[in-house]
C-alpha cells in the first residue's frame, strides 16, 4: 500500500501539466484550436499538443474522421499560427496516425515528407482486420461475440500494436489498451504480448501515453490499466500526459489524477521536443 506524501515546497511552484492528445474540428473534434488554447490557459496547463487524425486504411484510402492527405499542410499552418499567438501555454503540433498493415507504407511516405513540421506522432490502432472496434456502432457487434472471440480480438489488437510500434515511425503509443473501451474483457489479459510491446517501445525511444479518456467511457479506468502502469514502472518506460480531448471542456480532464499516478509510480515523464525529452516526475509534477 502506497502512502502519498504531500511536499509543500513542490506545491508552491507551478506544476507541469500537459495534454498531448487533442482533436479539433479539422478532424473529428468539435472546436477550433484557439478554443482549446483558451481552456488550457484557464486550467493552468504548461503545454498542449494538437493531434488530429490521419487514418489511412488497408486499401490506402482515407478513413472517416481523418484529415485528408491534402489538408495536412493547412492543418500544420493553422496550428503554427496558434502556436505563435499563444503566450501563456506552449503549443505543439502532432498527428494521431492509425497503424493499419496495408496503409503503413503510404503513412511512412507522408510522415517522412512532414517530419520537419511535426513535433511528434501518436500511433493508434482503432481497426482490427476491418472491425472499427471503438465506434459507438461497434457495441452491438461486441455484444454478439463469444468469450473466445473476445479473447482472439484482444490478442489480435495487441499484435497490431506491436507491429505498429516496430515500424519505428511513430513517437508515442496512444491509448495502449483502448480495446477495453466498451468494457468487454478477455478471460485473461495477454500481458506477455503487452510486455513485448513495452520492451520495443523502450528500445525505440518511444513513449506510452497515460490517458484519462477511458474514464469517460464504459471501461471506467485510465488507459492503460493499473496492471500495465505497473509494468511501465518496472521497465521504466517514459510516459506522456493526455486526455484525448474532442471538445475544449476536456482539455484538462483527469490530468491531476494522471500527474499523481506518474509521481507515485515514478514514471519517466516524456515531452515531445525534437524527439522526446525525459523529465524526472518528482521534480516537475
Please choose, from the candidates 84, 79, 18, 69, the residue with its C-alpha nearest in 3D space to the C-alpha of residue 46. 18
Residue that has been written with the C-alpha cell 498542449 in this structure: 48
- Pick between residue 47 and residue 244 the one whose CB is nearest to Zn ion: 244
CB of 170 to Zn ion, least distance (A): 13
Q: Which residues lie near Zn ion (CB under 5 A)?
A: 96, 124, 244
CB of 175 to Zn ion, least distance (A): 6
Size of the chain, expressed as the number of residues it contains: 285
Bridge pairing between strands 207-211 and 172-173 = parallel
CB of 4 to Zn ion, least distance (A): 30
CB of 202 to Zn ion, least distance (A): 22
Write a three-state SS string for 203-258. HCCCEEEEECHHHHCCCCCCECCHHHHHHHHHHCCCEEEECCECCHHHCCCCHHHH
**At residue 90, what are phi and psi to the nearest 5 degrees?**
-75, 135
Q: Are 198 and 150 in contact (CB under 8 A)?
A: no
- Pick between residue 184 and residue 223 the one whose CB is nearest to Zn ion: 223
Q: Are 29 and 23 in contact (CB under 8 A)?
A: yes
Q: In whole angstroms, give the CA distance from residue 160 to residue 127.
A: 9
- Pick between residue 89 and residue 174 the one whose CB is nearest to Zn ion: 174
- Pick between residue 17 and residue 181 the one whose CB is nearest to Zn ion: 181
Residue that has been written with the C-alpha cell 468487454 in this structure: 184
Closest chain position to Zn ion (CB): 124
- Pick between residue 45 and residue 284 the one whose CB is nearest to Zn ion: 45
CB of 77 to Zn ion, least distance (A): 21
- Pick between residue 96 and residue 250 the one whose CB is nearest to Zn ion: 96
- Pick between residue 22 and residue 162 the one whose CB is nearest to Zn ion: 22
Neighbours of 182 (CB within 10 A): 17
CB of 144 to Zn ion, least distance (A): 24
CB of 27 to Zn ion, least distance (A): 9
Amino acid at each position: 500500500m502506497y502512502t502519498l506524501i504531500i511536499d509543500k515546497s513542490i506545491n508552491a511552484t507551478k506544476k507541469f501539466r500537459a495534454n498531448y492528445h487533442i482533436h479539433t474540428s479539422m478532424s473529428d473534434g468539435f472546436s477550433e484550436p484557439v478554443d482549446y488554447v483558451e481552456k488550457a490557459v484557464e486550467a493552468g496547463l504548461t503545454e498542449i499538443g494538437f493531434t488530429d487524425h490521419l487514418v489511412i486504411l488497408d486499401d490506402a484510402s482515407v478513413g472517416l474522421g481523418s484529415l485528408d492527405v491534402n489538408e495536412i499542410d493547412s492543418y500544420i499552418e493553422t496550428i503554427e499560427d496558434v502556436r505563435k499567438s499563444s503566450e501563456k501555454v506552449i503549443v505543439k503540433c502532432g498527428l494521431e496516425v492509425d497503424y493499419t498493415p496495408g496503409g503503413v507504407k503510404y503513412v511512412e511516405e507522408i510522415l517522412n515528407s512532414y517530419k520537419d513540421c511535426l513535433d511528434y506522432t501518436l500511433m493508434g490502432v482503432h481497426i482490427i482486420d476491418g472491425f472499427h472496434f471503438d465506434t459507438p456502432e461497434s457495441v452491438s457487434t461486441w455484444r454478439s461475440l463469444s468469450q473466445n472471440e473476445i479473447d482472439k480480438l484482444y490478442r489480435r489488437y495487441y499484435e497490431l500494436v506491436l507491429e505498429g510500434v516496430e515500424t519505428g515511425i511513430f513517437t508515442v503509443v496512444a491509448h495502449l489498451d483502448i480495446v477495453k473501451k466498451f468494457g468487454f474483457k478477455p478471460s485473461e489479459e495477454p500481458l506477455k504480448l503487452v510486455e513485448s510491446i513495452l520492451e520495443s517501445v523502450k528500445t525505440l525511444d518511444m513513449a506510452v501515453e497515460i490517458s484519462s479518456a477511458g474514464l469517460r467511457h464504459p471501461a471506467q479506468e485510465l488507459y492503460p490499466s493499473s496492471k500495465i502502469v505497473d509494468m511501465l514502472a518496472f521497465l521504466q518506460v517514459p510516459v506522456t500526459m493526455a486526455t484525448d480531448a474532442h471538445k475544449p471542456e476536456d482539455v484538462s480532464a483527469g490530468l491531476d489524477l494522471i500527474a499523481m499516478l506518474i509521481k507515485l509510480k515514478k514514471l519517466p515523464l516524456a515531452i515531445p521536443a525534437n524527439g522526446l525529452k525525459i523529465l524526472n516526475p518528482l521534480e516537475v509534477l
